[in-house]
Chains A and B, each alone.
Chain A
Amino acid sequence: MDLYLPIANLSVNALVIIGLGGVVGLLSGMFGVGGGFLTTPLLIFYGIPPTVAAASAASQVTGASVSGVFTHMSRGTVDFRMGGVLIAGGVMGAGMGVFIFRLLQYLGQIDTVIGILYVLMLGGIGGLMAKESIQALIAIKTGKRPPARKRRHHPLVAALPMRWRFYRSGLYISPLAPLLLGMATGILTMLLGVGGGFILVPAMLYLLGMATQSVVGTSLFQILFVTMATTMMHAMTTKAVDLVLALLLLIGSVVGAQVGTRISMSIRPEYLRILLAAIVLLVAARMALGLGWRPDEIYTIEVG
């Protein structure tokens, strides 16, 4: 079933795109991540122009995170104050991302930078996750409980001026720390079309030392609003949001996300995390090979 995408200016097989959204949605439901890290590269691989892919993938992450936010809000596991600061930083970061995007486009290095960012980000986070989940698995096998980690924020965070109380996160820290964190993820969202949950969740746990139960809800809350802001910025600046493409992705991903959530309830979280780590490392390895191997296309054309 061929369908013409009015902004991407090419026709695609609608079922392939819906299926792609479905797979990403399934993963996002299972692991509680947006899944943008998979959508953008897969769309580019399918032949969608990189800018259109990044711009349209952001709205898919919005759709995938909505129902998660509602669930967490009803459980009271969203720290709105923390979320608000993160969103403020995220929107600022997305704004900065617009300029970086344009600069890199002008220099002709956007593809390489996106590739390197993906490898570093996914490789780093994937490695951390793998290490930790393997340790957890060993602990389960040997029957030993891992020593409870003392929850503390990073000494650098403590050095920042001004302090606010974040009750639900159980923190009394400077709002500059989450603001900077939000900013960094906002830039990534704009450049890569990812939600940034990968960076946010570990950073909130290990850098800020937030209470575990409110980490996922708060990060989803931030992702929801930052991807919304990013979609708007793409619509206003690059004009590369393809509604038809986004709709196809959304159809697949919202359904997949619900299925994924159900699957995740019947699997041990330790196994889920090691599975996710494996997928993340696989994508990172594929991207790293892509940088080093001779690419299929030596030449690229940019109009204008």
Chain B
Amino acid sequence: MRRLAALIALPAALLLIGADEPQLVPDVSQRDVEIQYSFTGADLLLFGAIVYPDGRRPEKPADIVVVLKGPEQSITMREKQKVAGIWVNADEAQFRSAPSFYAMASSRPIDRIVDERTAAIYELGVDKLQLSPSSLNESGELSRFQAGLVDLRARSGLFVERPGTVEITDGVLYRARLPLSARVIVGDYTAETFLVQDGRVVAAAVRDITVRKSGFEQFMASAAEHWSFVYGLVAIAMAVGMGWAAGAIARRI
């Protein structure tokens, strides 16, 4: 049904002659990402067309920024410090809206496309995320924690920045590839596309992506959550059964 809607939307958008602002017609290679037993991450292709009014392309080529964002989480971050010779969690900060996943690609380095303020408004870049800290820490401390979060998530592939990787063909077709780490959580993701002209965002469009566990993985996750007693019994039975079987087999050999 969504595919059909997109198919109808494309020519419809091309017909939008007379609108003075350019339009974006975005799409993604996969609307549904299924996590299965062999899931080691996925590569998403974000592509689409830029539709200019009257089909006139501007002399100065526009830039494209794509952002793939995961569900927001409320998190507590803890910082280890050396206390009495050992490293313990000594300081903490709470963030109410930290994205569990954030990936961004742009046609040029982001600081050459937009200024600081615009980047902050559209959350372009991992250092521009609005994390809504809920504890009243001093700002220096918060930026320290934010840097820690970005570093940690970047190393586990959950925060990705790929400046200069969006390809624009003939000024109207764009494509970008973003990696989805194996550590992503399930939920609703959004793929946002921004068209930037002279440091100003002139068009934006969003596509939704659903990441979910399927088949066996879905079954296990919901069993652990909803039938936890039975799940526990199965775990115990499995352990006892296997231990007993191995012993019985070993006695025969």
CB within 8 Å of B: which residues of A?
A: 2-4, 6-7, 9-11, 59-60, 62-67, 70-71, 108-109, 111-112, 115-116, 227-228, 231-232, 234-236, 239, 241, 243-244, 246-247, 250-251, 254-255, 257-258, 261, 291-295, 297-304
Contacts of B55 in A (CB 8 A): none
Q: Is the CB of B243 within 8 A of A254?
A: yes
B interface residues, Cβ below 8 angstroms from A:
35-40, 73-80, 82, 85-89, 92, 145, 148-149, 151-153, 182-183, 185, 213, 216-217, 220-221, 224-225, 228-229, 231-236, 238-240, 242-250
Q: Once the chains bind, are A292 and B80 in contact (CB under 8 Å)?
A: no
Residues of chain B lying within 8 A (CB to CB) of residue A11: 39-40, 182
Pairwise interchain contact B182-A301, C-beta atoms closer than 8 A: no
Residues of A within 8 A of B229 (CB): 232, 235-236
A235 touching B224 by the CB < 8 A rule?
Answer: yes
Give A300 to B90 CA distance when docked, in angstroms.
11
B220–A7 touching, CB < 8 Å: yes
Per DSSP, chain A at the interface is: helix
Residues on B with beta carbons closer than 8 Å to the beta carbon of A2: 38, 40
Chain B residues in 8 Å Cβ range of A251: 242
Interface contact B243-A292, CB-CB below 8 Å: no
A302–B234 CA distance with the chains assembled, in angstroms: 28
Check B40 against A112 for contact (C-beta < 8 Å). no
A66 and B243 form a contact (CB under 8 A): yes
B224:A292 contact, CB within 8 angstroms: no
Q: How far is the CB of B13 from chain A (nearest CB, A)?
A: 38
Compute how far the CA of A294 lies from the CA of B85 in the bound complex, rounded to whole angstroms. Answer: 10
Q: Is the CB of B220 within 8 A of A304?
A: no
Instruction: Tell me, in angstroms, the Cα distance from A293 to B82 when the chains sit together.
Output: 9
- A298 near B243 with CB under 8 A, answer no
Contacting pair B74 A303 (CB below 8 A): yes
Residues of A within 8 A of B79 (CB): 298-299
A-B pairs with beta carbons under 8 Å apart, 21 shown: A4-B37, A4-B38, A6-B213, A7-B224, A62-B240, A63-B242, A67-B243, A108-B76, A112-B88, A231-B232, A231-B235, A236-B229, A239-B225, A243-B235, A244-B37, A251-B242, A254-B246, A258-B246, A298-B79, A299-B145, A303-B75
